[in-house]
Amino acid sequence: MSFVVPVGPQHPALEEPEHFRFTVEGEEIVDVDFRLGYMHRGIEKAFEEKSFPRALYLAERICGICSGIHSIACVEAVEELAGVEAPRRARFLRTVLAELERVHSHLLWAGIAAHEIGFMTLFHLTWRDREHVLDVLEMLTGNRVNYAANKIGGVRFDVEPKHLGKISNVLDDLEEDALRYMDVFTSDRTITARCEGEGVLSKGEALRLATVGPTARASGVDEDMRRDDPFAAYGEIDVDVKTAEGGDVLANAEVRLSEILESINILRNAVEQLPEGPLSVDAPKKIPEGQATNRVEAPRGELLYHFKSDGGEKPSRGKVRTPTMANIPAIIEKLKGETIAEIPIVVASIDPCFCCTERVQIVDKNTGKTQTLTKKELREMREE
Amino acid sequence: MNSEEVIDVIQDYIDDEEILSEKKVIATTDRERYRDALQTLWDKGIQHITTITATDFGEETEIIYHISCDGTLLDLVVSVPNEDLEISTITDIYPAAILYERELMDLFGIDVLDHPDPRTLVLPDDWPEYKYPLKKGQYDYQAIAEAENVSDVKEIAEDDDFDPELMLEAEKENKDRKSLIEWLETRIGKEEGD
C-alpha cells in the first residue's frame, strides 16, 4: 500500500521553507512531489523599483549565507551594462571575499550534515571554526553577513598590512581543521554508515538535469564557473576544480571539504599577489540602455544575474537564478529509492537554503487519517 | 567551445548574432526555429541550460534561453507577441527546463504548449487568475504597498480594469486610508453588481 508523506513547509530554524510530498511504499520512497514559493519575496519585481546602487543591496539580501557572492554577481552585471571595469585590486579583493564566504558556507554545510545524522560534536566543532572565518570577514568589511562590500566600479573595503597576520593565522588553523574533518568524514563509521551510497546521483543524470556546483562535482561533472567563465580575479589565479565519483552524500562531503582546502590556497595566493592601486572607479548614475548576463560560482553552484536597462537610473528587468533552484530536480532524483529516515541528510546533501523536517504528517491514503510526527519522532524512527 | 564555434553550430537557425566576448554571445531567432537551434546544440553534447528569462515589453515578450556551452554562455533570444503569448515546451530537449518553464507560466502568463507538468510553482493557490506579477502595468503597486491587510491587496490585485489616473484622483479626494479603502470597496462592489 502506498502512502503520501508531506514534509514541510515551515521550519522555524532554517530559511527557505519548501514542501515535499513523498509517496512511499513501506519505507521506500517511490515518488516525490514538491511545492516552492513560500519564500517568494518578489525581489525580481522589486529590482525594477530601485536604482542600480540600491538594487545591489537588495541582491545582497537574497541569501543570508552567500550574500557576498550575490552582490559580486549583481555588481559585475551592472558594471558590464555601465561599461566600467573595477580596478585590478578591487577584483582581487572580490575574490578574497568570495573565497572566505565559500569556506564559511562549506563549514556551515558540514555542520548541518553532521547535525542531520545526529553527530552533534562535529556540528559544534565545525560551527566553532566557521566563527573564525566570520571574524575575518567582520574585520575586513565590518559585518559578519551582508557585507555591503561592493559598489558599482569597485569595492568598499581593503586588506591592509595590519590584517595580514590575523588572516594568515586563521588560514593556517583552518587548513589543519579542514584536514581533520576530511579524515573524520571519510573514516568515522557513524558517518560512512549513514552517508555512503545514500542519495546517489549518477554523472549522466547530473548532466541531464543541469545540476550545478558541488552537487554536480560530487557526481563527477567537471564544471566550475571560477575556471570555465572567470569572474572577479579568477582569470589570474589558478583554480583546481575538485570532483568525486560516488555521487552520494559522502562524495558531497568530500568535494566540499576539499574545496575548503582549495579555497585556502586561493586565498593565500590572492592575498600574496594583491596588486597596488585604487579600490574603485567612478560609475555613471544613469546606466546606458542594454542588457547584461553574468554568471559566478556561488558556494552552492552557478549563480546567474541578468539585468536590462532602458537608459535610466533603475533596471527595467532584473533576473536571478540561484543554484538551489537548479538543484531541485537533482534532489528528486536522489530521493527516489531512499527511505523516509534518509530524507533529512539527502535533502541537506545539496546544501539547499532550507530543510523542513520539523513537522511531518503521515496521511493514510485509503482512510484519509492524518498523523503528525515531530522531528524527534522522525529521528527515533530512523534509529529503529 | 568559444563564441564563434557556438555561432557556427546554430548558424542556420538564427537571424542575428552579437559576440560580446570569447565567452558571451547573444543570438536572435524566432518561434519557428528556436527548437531546432536547441536540438542541434543538445545533439552536439551541450546539455546545460542555466535558466530562461522573460521580459515584458508591452507589445511583445522577449524570452531568453541561457545555454551554457562548455563555459561559453549563449543567450538565445526569442520574441513572442503579447496577443499570442504561447511557446512550445523545450522539456523534451532540455529536461532541466521544466521548473524554468513553470516559472514563465506563473509570472508572465506565457502559455507553454505541451508542458508535462503545468502546475503553479511559486504563486499562492488563491492567486487571482489571469494576473501575472512580472508583466508590466498589471497592478497599482502604490496601493498594494500601502494596503493594511491581505484582503485589501487581493481586492486591488483582482481589480481588472485598474486605471492609474482614476486612482490618483481617488487619492486626492479621499485623504485618509479608511475612506480610500471604502471608496475602492464601493467601486469593486459596483462592478460586481454590473
- CATH number of the domain residue A88 falls in: 1.10.645.10
Q: Is the dihedral of CA A365, A369, A375, A381 positive or negative?
A: negative
Q: What is the pLDDT of residue A107?
A: 94
**Which residue did the predictor score with more confidence, A99 or A31?**
A99
Establish if B185 belongs to a structural domain: yes
Chain A partners within 8 Å of B107 (Cβ): 44
Among B123, B145, B175, the domain boundary falls at B123
Q: What is the mean pLDDT of residues B115-131?
A: 82
Residue A308 to residue A306: CA distance in whole angstroms? 7
Whether A19 contacts A356, CB under 8 Å: yes
Residue A207 to residue B100: CA distance in whole angstroms? 17
User: Do you know the residue count of chain B?
Assistant: 194
Same structural domain, B58 and B154: no
Chain A partners within 8 Å of B96 (Cβ): 208-210, 326, 329
Same structural domain, B7 and B71: yes
Q: Name the pLDDT band for A272 (thresholds 50, 70, 90).
A: very high
- Of the listed ranges A151-155, A334-338, B142-146, B168-172, the one predicted with least confidence: B168-172
- Of the listed ranges A145-149, A158-162, A175-179, A356-360, the one predicted with least confidence: A356-360
Please tell me which of the candidates A36, A40, A293 has its beta carbon nearest to residue B66: A293
Q: What is the pLDDT of residue B183?
A: 66
Cβ pair B47:A208 closer than 8 A: yes
Q: What is the pLDDT of residue B159?
A: 62
Lookup: cell for A372:
503528525
Return the CA Rg of chain B: 21
User: Is the backbone of residue B21 left (phi > 0), alpha (psi -120 to 50) or beta?
Assistant: beta
- CATH number of the domain residue B27 falls in: 3.30.460.80
User: Do you know the residue count of chain A?
Assistant: 384
Q: What is the mean pLDDT of residues B104-119?
A: 90
Q: Name the pLDDT band for A94 (thresholds 50, 70, 90).
A: very high
**3-state secondary structure (DSSP) of residue B186:** helix
A149 φ, ψ (degrees, to nearest 5)? -90, -15
Q: What is the pLDDT of residue B171?
A: 57
Q: Name the pLDDT band for A39 (thresholds 50, 70, 90).
A: confident
Digit-coded pLDDT (tens) for A208-258: 999 999 999 999 999 999 999 899 899 999 999 999 988 898 999 999 999
Burial of residue B175 (CB within 10 Å: 0-12, 13-18, 19+) is exposed
Whether B53 contacts A306, CB under 8 Å: yes
Same structural domain, B94 and B34: yes
DSSP string, B158-174: H-TT--HHHHHHHHHH-
Q: Name the pLDDT band for A370 (thresholds 50, 70, 90).
A: very low
Digit-coded pLDDT (tens) for B2-25: 888 999 999 999 999 999 888 899
Whether A274 contacts A88, CB under 8 Å: no
A228 part of contact set with chain B, CB < 8 Å: yes
Cβ pair A329:B98 closer than 8 A: yes
Same structural domain, B89 and B165: no
Please tell me which of the candidates B48, B55, B100 has its beta carbon nearest to residue A308: B55
Q: Name the pLDDT band for A24 (thresholds 50, 70, 90).
A: confident
pLDDT at position A381 over 70 = no
**Which residue did the predictor score with more confidence, B170 or A281?**
A281
DSSP state of B176: S
Q: A16 vs chain B: nearest CA distance in angstroms?
A: 12
Name which of B22, B41, B60, B68 to mutate to probe chain A: the one with the most chain A Cβ atoms within 10 A of its Cβ. B68
Structural domains in chain B (count)? 2
pLDDT at position B176 over 80 = no
Domain span including residue B152: 137-194
Q: B178 vs chain A: nearest CA distance in angstroms?
A: 26
Report the candidate in A43, A44, A62, A52 with the shortest Cα–Cα distance to residue A310.
Answer: A52
Residue A50 to residue A66: CA distance in whole angstroms? 21
Establish if A377 belongs to a structural domain: no
pLDDT at position A105 over 90 = yes
pLDDT at position A316 over 80 = yes
A289 part of contact set with chain B, CB < 8 Å: no
Whether A312 contacts A193, CB under 8 Å: no
Establish if B89 belongs to a structural domain: yes
What angle do helix axes A249-272 and A88-116 make, rounded to 10 degrees?
A: 150
Cβ pair B64:A306 closer than 8 A: yes
Q: Name the pLDDT band for A312 (thresholds 50, 70, 90).
A: confident
> Considering only alpha carbons, which residue of chain B is nearest residue A18?
B122
Cβ pair B96:A326 closer than 8 A: yes
Return the CA Rg of chain A: 21
The verdict on ipTM greater than 0.95 is: no
Could you give the percent of chain A with pLDDT greater than 70?
89
Q: What is the pLDDT of residue A30?
A: 86
A363 part of contact set with chain B, CB < 8 Å: no
Establish if B129 belongs to a structural domain: no
Q: What is the pLDDT of residue B73?
A: 92
**Whole-structure pTM value:** 0.83
Establish if B43 belongs to a structural domain: yes
Establish if A38 belongs to a structural domain: no
User: Is the backbone of residue B23 left (phi > 0), alpha (psi -120 to 50) or beta?
Assistant: alpha
Establish if A119 belongs to a structural domain: yes
Structural domains in chain A (count)? 1
**Which residue did the predictor score with more confidence, A314 or A360?**
A314
Report the candidate in A307, A320, A32, A15 with the shortest Cα–Cα distance to residue B107.
Answer: A320
Output the 3-class SS for chain A.
CEEEEEECCCCCCCCCCCEEEEEEECCEEEEEEEECCCCCCCHHHHHCCCCHHHHHHHHHCCCCCCHHHHHHHHHHHHHHHHCCCCCHHHHHHHHHHHHHHHHHHHHHHHHHHHHHCCCHHHHHHHHHHHHHHHHHHHHHHCCCCCCCCEECCEECCCCCHHHHHHHHHHHHHHHHHHHHHHHHHHHCHHHHHHHCCCCCCCHHHHHHCCCCHHHHHCCCCCCCHHHHCCCCCHHHCCCCCCCCCCCCHHHHHHHHHHHHHHHHHHHHHHHHCCCCCCCECCCCCCCCCEEEEEEEEECCEEEEEEEEECCCCCEEEEEEECHHHHHHHHHHHHHCCCEHHHHHHHHHHCCCCCCCCCEEEEECCCCCCEEEEEHHHHHHHHHC
CA atoms within 13 A on the CB side of B62: 14
Q: What is the pLDDT of residue A369?
A: 46
DSSP state of B2: -
Q: What is the pLDDT of residue A368?
A: 41
Same structural domain, B143 and B105: no
**3-state secondary structure (DSSP) of residue B71:** coil
Exposure string of A56-66, with b = 16+ CB inside 10 Å and e = fewer, is bbbbbebbebb
Chain B partners within 8 Å of A36 (Cβ): 121-122
> Considering only alpha carbons, which residue of chain B is nearest residue A228?
B71
Chain B partners within 8 Å of A317 (Cβ): 53, 55
Domain span including residue A291: 46-304
- Of the listed ranges A112-121, A319-328, A368-377, the one predicted with least confidence: A368-377
User: How does the average pLDDT of chain A come out, rounded?
Assistant: 85
Digit-coded pLDDT (tens) for B47-60: 999 999 999 988 89
A295 part of contact set with chain B, CB < 8 Å: yes
Output the 3-class SS for B86-155.
EEECCCCCCHHHHHHHHHHHHHHCCEEECCCCCCCCCCCCCCCCCCCCCCCCCCCHHHHHHCCCHHHHHH
**Which residue did the predictor score with more confidence, A178 or A194?**
A178
Establish if B111 belongs to a structural domain: yes
Establish if A24 belongs to a structural domain: no
Chain B partners within 8 Å of A304 (Cβ): 50-51, 66
Same structural domain, B21 and B92: yes
Establish if B64 belongs to a structural domain: yes
Chain A partners within 8 Å of B121 (Cβ): 36-37
Same structural domain, B103 and B144: no
**Which residue did the predictor score with more confidence, A102 or B162?**
A102
Digit-coded pLDDT (tens) for A333-364: 888 888 877 777 787 777 765 422 223 334 44
- Of the listed ranges A239-243, A296-300, B146-150, the one predicted with least confidence: B146-150
A151 part of contact set with chain B, CB < 8 Å: no
Could you give the percent of chain A with pLDDT greater than 90?
50
Residue window 81-140, chain A: list those with CB within 8 Å of chain B. Answer: none
> Considering only alpha carbons, which residue of chain A is nearest residue B72?
A229
Whether A219 contacts A206, CB under 8 Å: yes
Same structural domain, B71 and B101: yes
Name which of B46, B51, B74, B76 to mutate to probe chain A: the one with the most chain A Cβ atoms within 10 A of its Cβ. B51
Q: Name the pLDDT band for B122 (thresholds 50, 70, 90).
A: confident
Establish if B131 belongs to a structural domain: no
Same structural domain, B148 and B117: no
Residue A105 to residue A98: CA distance in whole angstroms? 10
